[in-house]
Chains A and B, each alone.
Chain A
């Protein structure tokens, strides 16, 4: 960790302390610092911008409410990610109960226009590669949507947050061997799906 990292940790600890004693401004700084990691997680989990935004807000509100139970020995980011993951898993389970008959409709994810793709566009002058990027984004969300809520969280934490099996286990309240087998099965199934749909990408049911 460089000096910048140390300074960041110190200010973050201060923000957490201040937020704990009811300082909204300090908590706002924490939200600002972590909004993208939290939003990316809720987006990957829920598959659409509106729900992802709502879930990210809810995750932060829950974090604020439970700030007293946060153990400063643990990275704040991990703690926050655990809250967001569990909230999304609950939402997906609830959704499954409510929308059982509309599964086909919710299986179609939308483009994350709000997200990194717009930014990527500037790096890619060729509009066709932008389209490819967007297609890939849809493909990823379609693949993720076939997974169970917990598997979806595990895959997301592995690929976008570089979590170790141990960290995933801790975040999702699973054993390390359970994480290992979930990640194994999930990727075997996803690879099969990807293969079945060929080089042209997955066909979403319109």
Chain B
């Protein structure tokens, strides 16, 4: 056994992985080799130092800190989801509002027949709009306390009211013409 092997065995012994036969061999080497004797002593000293060291206790405030950060993060996430949904909803709404005008424009260009025959698609579009609005409302209700959400809700209500007026006006114009 050379000294490097001996050191490997010493470490294995500290961890309780050395069988009896090898332990006898190791002890024989340590007894005969001065440098390994010193090494074994210092390894034991290190092992003792680390084994007896207690766990450092966490500060009590850690739980509250984690909870606070968690809440803040969720709020930020909700605000992002909320505003994205709102933006998408608004875009859909705008498209719908512009739809009559777009139709006229397209009719002038000459591709109106293809669009006019797409009756079901308009229904699909409307359903998608309703779903998006529903989601936006849910998310907004969750973050209801923040003034941002209240503001968004107001603008949403305004947008809805305007859209109703606008579609009403457009349909009246249509029936008149």
CA distance A53 to B22 in the complex (A): 44
Q: Is the interface of B mostly helix, strand, loop or mixed?
A: helix
Q: Which among A36, A60, A143 is the interface contact of B55 at CB below 8 angstroms?
A: A36
Which of B64-72, B81-89, B110-118, B119-127 lies at the interface?
A: B64-72
User: Is A155's CB under 8 angstroms from B62's CB?
Assistant: no
Q: Is the interface of A mostly helix, strand, loop or mixed?
A: helix
User: Is B66's CB under 8 angstroms from A136's CB?
Assistant: no
**Given A31-B63, A64-B70, A184-B11: A195 and B57 within 8 A (CB)?**
no
CA distance A159 to B50 in the complex (A): 6
Nearest CB in chain A: distance from B58 CB, A: 3
Q: How many residues of B contact A (CB 8 A)?
A: 31
Q: Which of B48-107 contact A (CB under 8 A)?
A: 49-51, 53-59, 62-63, 65-67, 69-71, 73
User: Is A43's CB under 8 angstroms from B66's CB?
Assistant: no
A98 within 8 A of B: no
Residues of B at the A interface (CB closer than 8 Å) are 7-8, 11, 14-15, 38-39, 42-43, 45-47, 49-51, 53-59, 62-63, 65-67, 69-71, 73
Residues of A at the B interface (CB closer than 8 Å) are 24, 27-28, 31-32, 35-40, 43-44, 49, 52-53, 56-57, 60-61, 64, 112, 114-117, 119-120, 136-137, 139-140, 143, 155, 158-160, 165, 183-184, 187-188, 190-192, 194-195
